[in-house]
Structure 1
Amino acid sequence: MKRNDRTILGLTMLAHAMVHTYELSLPILIPVWLVEFGASKATLGVVLSLGYALFGIGALPGGVLSDSYGSRRLIVVCLLGMGGSFLLLSFAPTLPVIALALLLWGTAASVYHPSGLSLLSTGIEPDDQGSAFAYHGIAGNVGIAFGPLATTLLLLAFGWRTVVAVLAVPALVAAVVAFRTSIDETAAVETETRARDSSAERTTRTDGGLTSISDLLSASRSLFSGWFVAVFGVVMLSGLYYRGVLTFLPDLLSGLSLFAPIDVAGKSLEPARYLYAGLLTVGMVGQFAGGKLTDRVENTAAIAVAFGTLALIALVFVPAADAGLVPLLVVSFALGFWLFAVQPLYQATVAEFTPPDARGLSYGYTYLGVFGIGALGAAVAGYVLQYYSPTVLFLVLAGFATVASLLGVLLSLRAGSELV
């Protein structure tokens, strides 16, 4: 990689890890807040859900702002916002202030994915983009897997307010580093294209780009009039599968006799949590493998195969759990691998099916689909488990993955045609 590529990759990996570290540290704090504020689980659940909802919903305006003002600026704002919101959280005297801090966190964090992925797709040379997406995804998985662990360990030595304040520091330091970093955000765009669009781009970056709802609607119609609509379907179904399987998986695993709690020195250890963490850790390997696949095979064909595999995993998960420990471990780690392997595949596919000057907007829609609409997967899973059974849930998840696989086949058949 060139120096500019390495700098961009380092910046986005750092920010991506922090976004998911903060995202997964919040549930660890809920038991503490239940005691300190005397709130019900339902109330805290709603408060946390509001922050997570903005995390997804804000991706679309984040994409618009990325196209208008540049990705690096948005990443700086994201890091400052996350650090600032955690500082506010450390001083929160009441539950409403907790809610305000989480709303600010969700708003700040929401701009990262469209701006970070746009920066990777326009700043890093095409031959290195697949590996860049993979390393970027691995960094996110580091935050997912180890962020909650770091929060838990800090809570052993400090009060929650101190822990939250300590967690705020890395984001604030990273914001300063990002602000002082010099990069070429459009290095991957062909020279003649940059030259042709340079005047328009400079105007866009200084006047705010999409300055009205009509501009946004026009740009959106342009995106969805092409095959991006099928790509959006893939990412939306990916989000539904992701939230649907991960939200209640710890609870499902803990209900198995194989993972009954164990008393050690007067403390209850729950093996299901360790399997869950292991599954997320395996996701790092999946992210890397998925990124490498984008360099070697047609992305849309790989999407078809990957989601077909996820459908098969969903179909065999419950039988594997009934069959014993070894089959369950095999299918669980396969789930972790393929669940995260699809992410660099669809990220690269978004870049393939969208023009560079709308890349931020396209990734905004992408993560509106993944985290916004995809968040409904948790509600679907809860409803199905409440009124039906785990078997029915995994059948529903298999349905999501099957439709995504079919869309991958359709995109593969049209890969050689006009895309946008």
Structure 2
Amino acid sequence: MSTAQSSRLTDNDRSITGFVMISHAVVHTYELSIPILMVIWLSEFGLSTAILGTAVAVGYGLFGVGALPAGVLVDKFGSRELVLVCLAGMGGSFLLLSAAQGIVTITIALCVWGVAASVYHPAGLSLISTGVEQRGTGFAYHGMAGNFGIAFGPLLTALLLLVFDWRVVTGLLVIPAGVAILYAVSSSFDETAAVQTETDGGELEDDESMSLSKFVTDSRALFTLGFTVAIGIVMMNGLFYRSTLTFLPDVLSGFVPNVADQLQLFDPGSPVAEEFDPASYLYSGLLMIGMAGQYVGGKLTDRIRIENGLMIVLSSLTVVAILFVPAAQAGVIPLLAVSALLGFLLFSLQPMYQATIAEYSPPEDRGLSYGYTYLGVFGVGAAGAAIAGYLLSITTVRTTFIILAIFPATGALLAIVLSRTGDRRS
């Protein structure tokens, strides 16, 4: 096969990539719409931030913890059916939210969402790694779609809330899941096209059982030195991701000038003026720029040694974290530049570590490997929000970012270690 040919997505690649792109976008549309709705629930039901925060934390926690058993199910049943279950479950959870009467219903609905959403990443990423021949490109497009959902979710929810009651909005948010399901049932593809040559032209071996002993045996075989170090990198990324993005809108509000007042865009005291927050739009812009990072990071995985890419990006993130506040304080232009750089680098990591996991795990345990991956990203990573919140409560924003830089710095060191293990499995 020529170089020109090998750089193109096959028909099967395109079918899988389209399927996972729309599904990934829907997952993160729901994930990032929840914080917007929280503001309304606090006043609607007279809840304290501690109570509502705990309920939301349970849902987000299940999003990560559920990834591990989901990975086991993926290796047993395949990806397509489980992604469909995921989409249906998330849509159902928001339908339940639209009828919420208090904290109990909200908590149940968010738990349903967390369990359903936890299935997606092991299933979707396993599907790319076993079915898409141009794996790096598939990861890139997949990540870009996720970033679209991350940025589009809160923006869509906020815009709908300007027109409709929150119950109507949560009901309308069921539609994206329905659209994704319709697309999924109309597409066809081979889930194992990219690994059939790796298994002597045959199909992946079907697991004959889902017993605890088999899970333990497979896990022991999976955790080679290289895979263990790769999971360490994943956890450092998850901690930095959640610690920076959770409080970033609030942090940015301290640096962004109120352009609405300066330019007199709205009548003072009007509902629109009260709702308009420039920091929120900068935050959405930062997330959108992450789409470019996803694309570049995915393309680089097909062209350079992945471990070197991880080391470069994580080292760069360390520098950006240390310089973020001084740059933000220097003026609007430096603030925009450092925010764009943060978004670009933070999300360029995702296709890199996803491809790394594929390289350091056997095809037959790919679902399990991504289960452990997203247990690290969203499960362990969820602690990043608590760490950042605690730091911001006891010290300055600048010191907080300097301390948080420890996470990508540690990840960069682990990438150096990984480059020397030499025990790739794929």
Conserved 8 A contact 2:192-2:203 = no
The amino acid of 1:414's aligned partner reads T
Determine the C-alpha separation between the residues in 2 that align with 1:181 and 1:5: 12
- What residue number does 2:241 align with? 242
1:225 matched to 2:224? The reply is yes
Which residue number in structure 1 is paired with residue 4 of structure 2? none
Does the 8 Å CA contact 1:253/1:259 hold for their aligned counterparts? no
Separation (CA, whole Å) in 1 of partners of 2:394 and 2:421: 41
| Cα pair distance change 1:250/1:192, threshold 3 Å | closer
Q: Which amino acid aligns with 2:343?
A: G
How far off is 1:13 after superposition?
A: 0.2
Q: Which position in structure 1 is the counterpart of 2:16?
A: 8
Tell me which residue corresponds to 2:320: 313
Name the structure 2 match of 1:285.
292
State the match for 1:111 in structure 2.
Answer: 119
Among candidates 352, 361, 376, match of residue 345 of structure 1: 352
Q: Is the 8 A contact 1:290 1:345 kept in 2?
A: yes
1:142 is matched with which residue? 148
Cα 1:274/1:257, change in 2 over 3 Å: closer
Alpha-carbon distance in 2 for matches of 1:186, 1:281? 32
> For residue 234 of structure 2, what is the amino acid of its counterpart?
V
For residue 384 of structure 2, what is the aligned residue in structure 1?
377
Q: Is the 8 A contact 1:59 1:111 kept in 2?
A: yes
In the TM superposition, residue 302 of structure 1 has moved relative to its aligned partner by 0.3
81-90 or 169-178, larger mean C-alpha shift: 169-178
Change (3 A) 1:342 1:316: same
Count, aligned residues: 410
> Which string of whole-angstrom CA distances, capped at 9 and with x for unpartnered residues, describes residues 54-90 of structure 1?
1111111111111111011110110010111111111
1:189 aligns with 2:188: no
Distance 1:342 1:192 in 2: 26
Structure 1 pair 191–221 and aligned structure 2 pair: CA distance change class (3 A): same
SS where residue 193 of structure 1 aligns?
A: coil
Mapped partners of 1:133, 1:196: distance in 2: 24
CA distance in 2, matches of 1:270, 1:39: 23
Could you tell me which residue of structure 2 aligns to residue 31 of structure 1? 39
Instruction: Specify the alignment match of 1:271 in structure 2.
Output: 278
Displacement after TM superposition at 1:194 (Å) = 5.7
Q: Output the CA distance in 1 between the equivalents of 2:392 and 2:186.
A: 49
- How far apart, CA to CA, are the structure 2 residues paired with 1:261 and 1:253? 16
> How far apart, CA to CA, are the structure 2 residues paired with 1:36 and 1:358?
46
Deviates more, 1:155-164 or 1:343-352: 155-164
AA aligned to 1:155 is L
* TM-score under structure 1 length normalisation: 0.93
Q: Distance in 2 between matches of 1:400 and 1:259?
A: 32
Say which of 161, 166, 171 aligns to 1:165.
171
Per-residue CA deviations over 1:278-297 (Å, capped at 9, x if unaligned) read 11111011111101111111
Q: Which residue of 1 aligns with 2:375?
A: 368
> Residue type matched to 1:24 in 2?
L
Q: Please provide the CA RMSD for this pair.
A: 1.8
> Any conservation in 2 of the 1:227–1:419 contact (CA below 8 Å)?
no
In the TM superposition, what whole-angstrom CA distance separates every residue of 1:123-177 from its partner, at most 9, and x where no partner exists? Answer: 011xx21111111001001101111111112122222111111111221342243
Whole-angstrom CA distance in 2 between matches of 1:100 and 1:345: 35
1: CA distance, partners of 2:336 / 2:11: 41
Tell me, what secondary structure is at the counterpart of 1:248?
helix
Amino acid at match of 2:250: D
Give the C-alpha shift of residue 255 in structure 1: 2.0
Equivalent residue number for residue 60 of structure 2: 52
Give, in whole Å, the separation in 2 of the partners of 1:276 and 1:322: 17
Gaps of 5+ in 2: 1-8
Q: Give the conservation status (yes or no) of the 8 Å contact 1:226–1:419.
A: no
CA distance in structure 2 between the aligned counterparts of 1:367 and 1:308, rounded to whole angstroms: 22
User: Kindly tell me: are residues 145 and 252 of structure 1, through their superposed partners in 2, closer, same or farther at Cα, counting changes over 3 Å?
Assistant: same
**Change in CA separation of 1:173 and 1:317 when aligned onto 2, cut-off 3 Å:** closer
Cα drift, residue 11 of structure 1: 0.5
Match of residue 254 from structure 2:
255
Closer/same/farther in 2, CA of residues 393 and 98 from structure 1, 3 Å limit: same
- Opposite residue 44 of structure 1, the aligned amino acid is L
Letter in 2 for 1:181: S
Q: Which moved more, 1:88-97 or 1:141-150?
A: 88-97
TM-aligned CA deviation for residue 261 of structure 1: 7.6
Cα distance in 1 for residues equivalent to 2:35 and 2:52: 10
Q: Which ranges of 4 or more aligned residues in structure 1 deviate by more than 6 Å?
A: none
Please give the alpha-carbon distance, in whole angstroms, between the structure 2 residues aligned to 1:173 and 1:247: 29
Alignment correspondent of 1:80: 88
CA-CA distance at 1:34 after TM superposition: 2.1
Give 3-state SS (helix, strand or coil) of 2:162's partner: helix
Question: Within 2, Cα distance between the matches of 1:104 and 1:411?
Answer: 37
Deviation at 1:392, TM superposition (A): 2.2
Using a 3 Å threshold, how does the CA distance of structure 1 residues 194 and 110 change in structure 2: closer, same or farther?
farther
Q: What is the alpha-carbon distance in structure 2 between the residues aligned to residue 284 and residue 96 of structure 1? A: 36
C-alpha displacement at 1:186, in angstroms?
A: 0.4
- Give the aligned residue type for 2:377: V
> How has the CA–CA distance of structure 1 residues 353 and 333 changed in structure 2, closer, same or farther, with 3 Å as cutoff?
same
Distance 1:182 1:292 in 2: 25
- Structure 2 partner of 1:175: 181
Q: Which residue of 1 aligns with 2:50?
A: 42
TM, length-normalised to structure 2: 0.92
Instruction: Measure the CA separation in 2 of the matches of 1:305 and 1:34.
Output: 42
Alignment match, 2:394: 387
Mapping 1:61-100, distance limit 5 Å = 61-100=69-108
Where does the alignment leave 5 or more consecutive residues of structure 1 unmatched?
none
**Following the alignment from structure 1 to structure 2, what is the Cα–Cα distance between the partners of residues 96 and 48?**
12
Contact residue 8 and residue 123 of structure 1 kept, 8 A: yes
Q: State the Cα deviation string for residues 190-228 of structure 1 (Å, max 9, x = none).
A: 336165565x42xx2xx5x4x222221111111113310
CA distance in 1, matches of 2:424, 2:168: 55
Find the aligned partners of 1:2 and 1:238 in 2 and give their Cα distance: 31
- CA change 1:57–1:260 in 2 (3 A) is farther
